Amino acid sequence: MDTHLIYTVIDLLGTFAFGVSGAVAARQQRLDLFGIASITFIVACGGGILRDLCLGTLPPAGLSSWRYLVVSLIAAAWVVCAYPMVCRMKSPVQLFDSIGLGLFAVAGAKKALAVQAGAEVAIVLGMVSAVGGGVLRDILLSRVPSILQREIYASAALAGASVEVLLSYSGANSVVISWLTAAGCTVLRMASLHYGWRLPSIDNDSDGYPGSGH
């Protein structure tokens, strides 16, 4: 299968998943239809636009291709029309955000590699693609972004992008491996939420801050 087609499919599926997470979050905040559609598009395409700007791909695909707008509007329409069904899912925002995280980590790394950006750049931009939409969603809806908390979020995207790049350089990259890498990133994120895995933090009590007793 053509590499460009694989990348496009993964990118559009990630766009839909992030769009759903944005639409659900916007619906929970009781925004109007225009607000839901706007948040959905920003969340669905924000990470990809940031990635393309960093790569110098102008205009970004999220703004130049009608496919991304259509996919984000489909995501918004599905959430609005099927909101009672979506609400029956357990943590739908986190579920679709995790799916988008895995897909965009792989898609972002693939696009960077396609323009010969180098391994380090591909890994970083894979992570940026994956977390960008979620960060924009949380900021616009006045929530603390997951990337600023101790959750396994950016680190999961970084792991997914790293695996994709390493396998690509080893020559073992294939359609199946790309899908498995995206799935692995998603599973890591979901498992961290389910089991409460957190990144280690520094104990401020020993740092001499006010109230620490030192």
**Rounded CA gap, 98 and 95, in Å?**
5
What confidence score (pLDDT) does residue 209 get? 46
Per-10-residue mean pLDDT of the chain, 214 residues long, equals: 73 92 92 94 93 90 92 95 87 90 92 88 93 90 83 91 90 79 94 86 54 45
Q: Which residues contact 101 (CB under 8 A, 6 or more apart)?
A: 130, 131, 134, 153, 156, 157, 160, 185, 186, 189
Judge contact between 114 and 164, C-beta under 8 A: no
Can you give the length of the chain in residues? Answer: 214
What confidence score (pLDDT) does residue 158 get? 94
**Rounded CA gap, 162 and 168, in Å?**
10
Other C-beta atoms within 10 Å of 4: how many? 11
**Rounded CA gap, 184 and 56, in Å?**
29
What confidence score (pLDDT) does residue 211 get? 45
